[in-house]
Amino acid sequence: MSLKVYIPCDAAAVCVGADELVAAFEAQAAQRKLEIEIVRNGSRGLLWLEPMVEVATPNGRVAFGPVEDKDVASVLDAMIADGPHDLRLGIADDITWLKKQTRLTFVRCGIVDPRPVEDYVAHDGYKGLTRALSMDSAGIVADVTTSGLRGRGGAGFPTGIKWKTVADAQADRKFIVCNADEGDSGTFADRMIMEGDPFVVIEGMTIAGIAVGATKGYIYIRSEYPHAIIAMEEGIKAAKRAGWLGDNIKGSGRAFDLEVRVGAGAYVCGEETSLLESLEGRRGIVRAKPPLPAHKGLFGKPTVINNVLSFAAIPFILDNGAKAYADYGMGRSRGTMPIQLAGNVKFGGLFEVAFGITLGELVDDIAGGTFTGKPVRAVQVGGPLGAYFPPSMFDTPFDYEAFAKRDGLIGHGGITIFDDSVDMSKMARFAMEFCAVESCGKCTPCRIGSTRGVETIDKIRRGEQVADNLLVLQDLSNTMKFGSLCALGGFTPYPVMSALKHFPEDFGPVPQVQAAE
């Protein structure tokens, strides 16, 4: 007999032993003279179950997880016999945590083999681009606008408006740039989709190119993501070989080409103008806006710059229609958001769902609270620049405006969970310290303010003139919020001020450990 076994190649699976499992399964199979085909799929996003291994059966793929080296022999027995096993999770598609989701962007992630373009096409890939190739620019842009898609990188700017601006601009060259500088702690959706379904990003960017009249695109990936870099480079090669990229896409006469560029460890390069500077080979210094990148972007030319998840949402919209996407969501937040549950989390992973779900449902029901089993004290939503929310605010719906109303932001959709051992003035200090490390240095509030912020919080923690220094901290935060050029200095006050507002009891003298006599 022959077995088809799926072992994820996603970095989150690899970091807990997926590569070693491949070797172990091959060794076991060889020992038993069993024919085995191992597919390195992406991750389905149930990361507490990684490495989650699946076997193809007539009834669907049966999952086991988390599988360790020592389990390989017994899991293989259970696979062959279709029998019980402690790690057996049943049919993968029927796992409740997956069934509760609305997967539009991540529909193929974890299911397909991310390498061959044929597998992508067999799972409805490139239908969006095929339709786009039969449309005119205005029609494609209108679809994107009607879908209500907003920038998934964090700013939430309507994607259709951005595209229209570039489409209307006159220039000898235009560019498409994909921001894959996913530096926010607690976020990994970009990494997962690039590793698990790279063609959806490539297709989304190609559609953007056709829509606005750009023939060249860049994907700027952070150097901390070596697996994603390889996956995208291989994906681009495969798409070129199959005629989905190049001078004459599938005989349409339209041209579009892509190139991967690797970052060099600067968080600020996730800011779009800083990223453009970096792409041009310069220091990642933020540009003042205007001019907007849509008018003067990469190399001074009109540029569409969007997040990975924004581009990855496009193929669904073009294939299924703008309305199919806009039917999900609430208020002005349309469609779905791939939410990432992270930190001290019991059921951590990627949960794609329509906007409108409450923070409490996500943290308590979906994520199951903390891994340590202690009560949740705070969650940080939206990465290092996002606010800390206490459980009393868990009724906040996941929606751009609802979070803004409560002095928070959904950012890139990451939720980092902390238990009751967290020291919130330490987290506030970290936010300032991180800003100081990563500031590009162009504007004073960010460059100097962050360092003064660290010093001020240190004074508070030492018990020096606490009331006065709290006022200084608030004043400083206001200056940074309103005086900084970009979101790094401008949003660092969110974690700081929210920590202070919701956890004031943590801002005072920290008990010193008594030195030994």
Partner 1 sequence: MNAAYEPWSAARCTEIIGAYAHVEGGVIVVLHAIQHAFGYVPEPAIPMIAEARNLSRAEVHGVFTFYHDFRHEPAGKHVLKICRAEACQAAGGDALTARAEQQLGVKLGHTTADDRVTLEPIYCLGLCATAPSAMLDGRIVGRLDEKRMDALLVEAQR
Residues at the contact surface with partner 1, assessed by CB under 8 A: 11-12, 14-16, 47-48, 50, 182-188, 190-191, 223-227, 261-267, 278-285, 299, 340-345, 348-349, 371, 380, 383-384, 414, 416-419, 422, 427, 430, 434, 437-438, 440
What does the alpha-carbon distance between residue 365 and residue 378 come to, in Å, rounded to a whole number?
16
Residue 137: CA atoms inside 13 Å, Cβ hemisphere, count? 14
Q: How far is the CB of 403 from partner 1 (least distance, A)?
A: 17
Residue 415 and residue 383 in contact, taking contact as beta carbons nearer than 8 Å:
no
Tokens of 354: 């329509």
Give the SS3 label for residue 447.
helix
Min separation Cβ 256 and partner 1, Å: 17
State which residue, 46 or 141, has the beta carbon closest to partner 1. Answer: 46
Alpha helices per DSSP H over 32-88: 72-81
Instruction: Provide the 10 A C-beta neighbour count for residue 153.
Output: 26
- Decide whether 179 or 278 has the Cβ nearer to partner 1: 278
Q: In whole angstroms, what is the distance from residue 177 CA to residue 263 CA?
A: 13
- Shortest Å distance, C-beta 70 to partner 1: 15
Task: Give the count of beta carbons closer than 10 Å to the beta carbon of residue 31.
Answer: 10
Output the smallest distance, CB 149 to partner 1, in A. 23
Shortest separation between residue 15's beta carbon and partner 1, angstroms: 3
Decide whether 71 or 419 has the Cβ nearer to partner 1: 419
Nearer to partner 1, 59 or 223 (CB): 223
Minimum CB distance to partner 1 smaller for 109 or for 427: 427
- Which CB sits closer to partner 1, 36 or 228? 228
DSSP string over 301-359: S-EEEEEHHHHHHHHHHHHH-HHHHHTSEETTEESEEEEEEEES-SS-EEEEEETT-BH
User: Shortest distance, CB of residue 271 to partner 1, whole angstroms?
Assistant: 14
DSSP for 73-136, written as a single string: HHHHHHHHHT---TTEEEEGGG-HHHHTS--SSSSSTTTS-SS-HHHHHHTTTTHHHHHHHTS-
Compare residues 365 and 464 and give the one whose CB is closer to partner 1. Answer: 365
Phi, psi of 461 (to 5 degrees): -70, -25
Compute the least distance from the CB of residue 185 to partner 1, in Å: 3
* Closer Cβ to partner 1, 129 or 424, answer by number: 424
Rounded least distance, CB 133 to partner 1, Å: 27
In 3D space, the residue among 394, 436, 497, 486 whose CA is nearest the CA of residue 153 turns out to be: 486
Q: What is the DSSP string of 179-206?
A: EE----TT--HHHHHHHH-HHHHHHHHH
